[in-house]
Amino acid sequence: MADKIALTNAELAYIKRLLGSSELDSDEVQTGFSIEGGEHANGLLLQLAAKASLTLEAQLDEYCMRFPLRLNEDELHGIQLQLAPPTIYERGPVLRAWRLPLEEPLALLSHDGRETALSVHELSAHGLLVDTGAKKAPKRLHLQLPLPGESPLKFDALQVRNTPGGLTVYEVEYHSKDAERIRSYLYEQHQRLHPELQQELPVKIAS
């Protein structure tokens, strides 16, 4: 299991101040900060990062966000820490991946960019809720997801179950860095839908 750091709301607000700076130009974003733990502590942290996936966990109201941590060593052996886009969960008896309900369903694309008869109604970092139309739901999908304002994301998906409403749930695996792109998109949409959390979270995450 990945090592985690759990932070309070006050600590999250402090990190947000570190990630943003009034000295930056309007088109620049500071996406990380330096860790000055000394040679021994920094070396230990780098060893941990080489052997495990480090995450920062933020618990906010009914949501939990897990930010992957990137560590880079500079020429002076200092550590630069950067937050990657998080995976968002809904808190409860069991953590459940947060699903974004789409205002307009998105038609999935074939590999040559043509629209298919399948459309997405909800999406999460690892799943899709799909309307397959009149056709029987395929067991597997190898298609593209067209996000607004983004180039399509290639993915492979495996059917999990059918819902009472006639839609099909798929577990999704995205190609290459597209897994980070979908997390970044969901993070932006979650901020849009929940502006009350803006004061406690970074506005933009490196991707």
* CA of residue 155 relative to chain centroid, distance: 15
- CB distance 191 to 198 below 8 Å: yes
Highest mean pLDDT out of 11-15, 71-75, 92-96, 197-201? 92-96
Give the pLDDT confidence score for residue 72 in this predicted structure.
Answer: 75
51/105 Cα distance (integer angstroms): 40
pLDDT over 70 for what percent of the chain? 75
Q: What is the pTM of this model?
A: 0.78
Higher per-residue pLDDT: 94 or 202: 94
- The hierarchical CATH code for the domain 100-176 is 2.40.10
Structure tokens given for 15: 């990190």
Give the pLDDT confidence score for residue 207 in this predicted structure.
Answer: 55
Give the pLDDT confidence score for residue 55 in this predicted structure.
Answer: 86
Tokens 């970044």 locate to: 184
Statement: residue 160 has pLDDT above 70: yes
Give the pLDDT confidence score for residue 185 in this predicted structure.
Answer: 94
Q: What angle do CA 72, 78, 82 make, to 5 degrees?
A: 40
Q: Strand, helix or coil at 188?
A: helix
29/55 Cα distance (integer angstroms): 21
Q: How many CA atoms lie within 13 A of 33 on its CB side?
A: 12
Domain residue spans in the chain? 3-96+179-200, 100-176
Q: Binning pLDDT at 50, 70 and 90, where does residue 37 land?
A: low
Statement: residue 102 has pLDDT above 70: yes
Strand spans (E) along the chain: 3-7, 32-35, 54-60, 63-73, 79-83, 87-90, 96-97, 100-109, 115-123, 127-131, 140-145, 153-162, 168-174
- CB distance 66 to 4 below 8 Å: yes
Of 57, 55, 70, 72, the C-alpha closest to 2 is 55
Residue 130 buriedness (CB in 10 A; 0-12 / 13-18 / 19+):
buried
Q: Binning pLDDT at 50, 70 and 90, where does residue 22 land?
A: very low
Statement: residue 11 has pLDDT above 80: no
188/203 Cα distance (integer angstroms): 8
